[in-house]
Amino acid sequence: MKKEERSLTRENGLWTGRFHAMAGPCEVLIDTRDAASAEKLFRLAEEEARRIERKFSRYRDDNIVYRINHANGKPVEVDEETASLLDFAAACAGLSGGKFDITSGLLRQVWRFDGSDRLPDPEAVAALLPRIGWSKVRWERPFFTLPAGMEIDFGGIGKEYAVDRTAQLLSQHLQTGILINYGGDLFAVGPRVDGSLWQVGIDDPAASGKKLVAKIPLKQGGLATSGDARRYLLKDNIRYSHILDPRTGWPVENAPRSVSVLASTCLEAGMLATFAMLQGSEARTFLEGEGVPFWLVTGD
């Protein structure tokens, strides 16, 4: 699907809406016979996803992220929605011991996870580290101060947030029978109208798009996956995941190939899936300690 295209079609007894946003495919399944209602809900979903993309994308020069990243060390007053995301980012940094950090996006300057064997120069990675670290920012609602030369990037939580926001919006109009899927991060607003559960496949990272490792019945809640099926480097038979440790600037060693987590919200599911990846070989132990349903695929 091209970026500007959108479609809403009747497939297998459901209305299926598709559009492209946040650098990936977005899909909304709506279980209703009413075509007008389906179009209304699909339009609401698309508008909300695009609103969040406009507001929080780091690729634009007209939003709050741009103003923060170009404030040259001066405090920036933020609105309530941005403040809530910054609160969540602060909590993630604390809970992960600094492994989950929205200031680590600068590392994209040296890492290109394009499936090649081109590792960055270690000196180039090390040179970026002084400009990374949540502990260096000042966050005193409603003012956020970022030292000059640093950046924030909501890419690690923005898509999950968009899924949850869309679910909240659509559930005001239809209380059951909606499945939102933005690039593999999902939320189910109740089961299907006939009471049956949604069936969600977990992709096999070793045969992405061709094989499933599990099929999950989903009734209500968020499901998010973190993994290296599409973004990685491979050199000397070592696979380098795109999950980077912001403290070292290098991929986490011995991380699973993928982790999927089911939680009450997509944002929580995404946070736990990423936290697990950041634990490396201890991912399973971490998730068992959290007591959440999860599906983990290793490279063994």
- Alpha carbon of residue 300 to chain centroid: 25
Q: Is the pTM of this model over 0.75?
A: yes
> Would you call 87 helix, strand, or coil by DSSP?
helix
pLDDT tens per residue across all 300 residues of the chain: 555 689 999 999 999 999 999 999 999 999 999 999 999 999 999 999 999 999 999 999 999 999 999 999 999 999 999 999 999 999 999 999 999 999 999 999 999 988 899 999 999 999 999 999 999 999 999 999 999 999 999 998 999 999 999 999 999 998 889 999 999 999 999 999 999 999 999 988 888 888 898 999 999 999 999 988 788 888 888 888 888 999 999 999 889 999 999 999 999 999 999 999 999 999 999 999 999 999 999 876
What are the b/e assignments for 158-195, b being 16+ CB within 10 Å?
bbbbbbbbbbeebeeebebbbbbbbbbbbbbbbbbeee
For residues 52, 54, 59 and 63, what is the CA-based torsion angle, rounded to 10 degrees?
A: -110
